[in-house]
Structure 1
């Protein structure tokens, strides 16, 4: 009769449980897979499938009792690491969403909003359009596969049990500056053009006070804003590729993957 000791059972559980929590935490937070459109049960099944495929090729995990305090601390560490990876990808997607919202507000299209099915909040339609474009482009360049590859390699560069150092949090906070800069890079041309249009309307109002600028200014600003947005989309693919490459490189640096 086959007999298994508690040490063997704890070792097998730790070998599978710790990678599962890191993978599941990332899948619960990252865009596309971690949205409300994907049921939680599907995400859990996907995390289990990825864990089963990765565990045989991963380095040995710390041998701990599955019900001990140290195992709970290790599980919390894995959840934080996976959530950090997913949060960085969320920041990348929100660059384009916020850029679309800023442009919509400047051109007077902020009132045209719809419920975002991924987050459940009401956002301007331009922001929703940018989010759909980014989602399709991200999937077309296999960005989700690159993110999963970085996650798999992180078990070598950030093995369980070494502890989360403070520099990881500072590095993640430093990514916020990159997000703000990328968002300004996206919105600057359109916002500048719309600002020039509004200044022109202001000059027209001072030159001809009898002209009812409000009756023609709003529809003209809206129409010109749509034209400017359409023109700005002509180079959207190259800009997205550059930002996506930078975002995935930032993800690799956060995971200490060289």
Structure 2
């Protein structure tokens, strides 16, 4: 029935667009709230036209009814959201690390709007999140994301039922993994904060008349910035290595 009003090529592009649009809307860098929705939709449409000839042999036949078409499109949108959500969750590792660094260096009260999170957050967390998105674009890691979109049709065919339980376990794994990477990125500052605060506590006990707070706070901020400048490149290199390994899993 649908064959009479919807050509197979338009059906294929529409089906690919459904999954790709969900991926683009949530992918880091490509789907940030700071990018206008019109640009994201236009990019998703152009990308779908490019991807369609590659994945056309993997697409299912057009369903005979309109209800089957709607169900198939919902299936594709759901898959795209789940795949993009995994990458988005892992990208939050830099936000976790930045928040920990802000607390350890006394800058937790310095808040700014984070365009990637869509809310107020510690300024160092915002800074690290923006650096990670910039590095994704500069190092062409977003090409791996696009290749992962294409490869997702091999790993998650459009005509198979979504294993929701398996996806739930994968998402839970990446939530824990993201937090683990964030803690590892902020490990130098955790050690620094422990040593620094223990030292201030000992000074306060040995010299009660000494104004530890007025001397310690500016010194804590200065030392925090100095340590941040020394380890920032190593932290981001470590993060990008793990991000690329996560994306390579989608490439098989």
* Common topology (TM > 0.5): yes
Cα distance change of structure 1 residues 133 and 124 upon mapping to structure 2, 3 Å threshold: same
CA deviations on 1:162-182 (whole Å, 9 max, x unpaired) are 010131232222111211211
**Alignment match, 1:53:** 50
Q: 1: CA distance between counterparts of 2:128 and 2:152?
A: 30
1:78 is the counterpart of 2:79: no
- SS of the residue aligned with 1:96? helix
3-state SS of 2:186 partner: helix
Any residues of structure 2 matched to 1:7-46 within 5 Å, and which? 7-8=3-4, 9=6, 11-46=8-43
Distance 1:24 1:70 in 2: 20
Contact 2:107 2:122 in 1 (8 A): yes
Deviation, 1:90, is 1.4
Deviates more, 1:54-63 or 1:30-39: 54-63
2:88 alignment partner in structure 1: 90
Listed as ranges, the gaps of 5+ residues in structure 1 are none
Is the 1:201–1:217 Cα contact (8 Å) retained in structure 2?
yes
The alpha carbon displacement at 1:60 in A equals: 4.6
Sort the Cα spacing of 1:234 and 1:37 in 2 relative to 1 into closer, same or farther, 3 A. Answer: closer
1:234 shift after superposition: 4.2
Match of 2:108 in 1: 110
Aligned residues: 249
Q: Which runs of 5+ in 2 are unaligned?
A: none
User: CA offsets, 1:55-80, max 9 Å, x none?
Assistant: 12222522334762222221111112
C-alpha separation in 2, matches of 1:158 and 1:120: 30
Q: Is the 8 A contact 2:90 2:175 kept in 1?
A: no
Indicate the residue corresponding to 2:204 in structure 1: 205
Shift of 1:117: 2.9
Show CA shifts across 1:5-25 (max 9, x none): 742526344322211100000
Which SS does the other structure have where 2:30 is aligned? coil
